[in-house]
Structure 1
Amino acid sequence: GEDETALKNQCTSLGLDSSVEWMGRTDDVPAALAEGSVFVQSSRGEGFPLALMEAMASGVPCAAFDCAPGVREIVRDGEDGLLAPPGDLDSLADRLLRLTGDRELRDTMGDRARVNVQRFSEAHVLERWEALFRLLDR
């Protein structure tokens, strides 16, 4: 995006050029997620983030700020992802390091994420709506 030049300059000034690969834009989100090992939702405010659910559905464990009820509803902290207190960069970095440093934890949380996020699938949500309507129709 518009911050690309500034971010690349910051990367260079921090001496991280050999550790960072700039992927650019893509329209193939599933393929990009399949190549990733961790997804970070660093937004300081979110409603019900679809990107987070897409990552989880791809089996990618997430680290995120617990910035809104939607994030907490999606990620089960310690089970299928890790949440950090809102705006606490050190805590988010800690969660990210825990995931990147432990392959078994990543794999376990990724597998759980893929299963757990299905509670938001179209079929499951429709089933819940129909159950509500049956209850109200009594």
Structure 2
Amino acid sequence: MPSSDYLLADAELDPAASNDRNTPFLPGHMGLEITRIGRDGAEGGFTIAKHHHAPNGFLHAGSLVTLADSLCGMACMASLPASASGFTTIELKSNFFATALEGRVHGIASPIHLGGTTQVWDCDVTHFDTGKRLALFRCTQMVLRPRKA
């Protein structure tokens, strides 16, 4: 589809611009770095630091959920039709397989369903250095439409 068919223009699909927009919000606080964003998905990650850990010393599950949810949300926004006004998450699920104490965590968000009223996205979260799968994430987004007067 041409860029004009989407809510966001092609120029808005820039990883550096996404990282700048995220700075004052949770993804920025978490140190999340977007490396790719497109209508077909998004990639990014963070380097594990102490603030990503739970008090028990392991990687906090919420750190992985924040990464996956952020990547899926950014990719969802990039793929919204021009007739949409935005989206909201209506369901999410995570399965955890392993942990990491250091290194880099990487996520790849991919579309499963890009419908007119809902989108479903998966994110595979791995340890970048070892390739070990840490988590699988799935979310459903409701496509929002402008209110009619």
Greater share of strand residues, 1 or 2?
2
Q: TM-score, normalised by structure 2?
A: 0.25
Q: TM-score, normalised by structure 1?
A: 0.27
Greater helix proportion: 1
* Higher RCO (CA 8 Å, separation ≥ 6 residues): 2
Q: Which has the larger radius of gyration?
A: 1
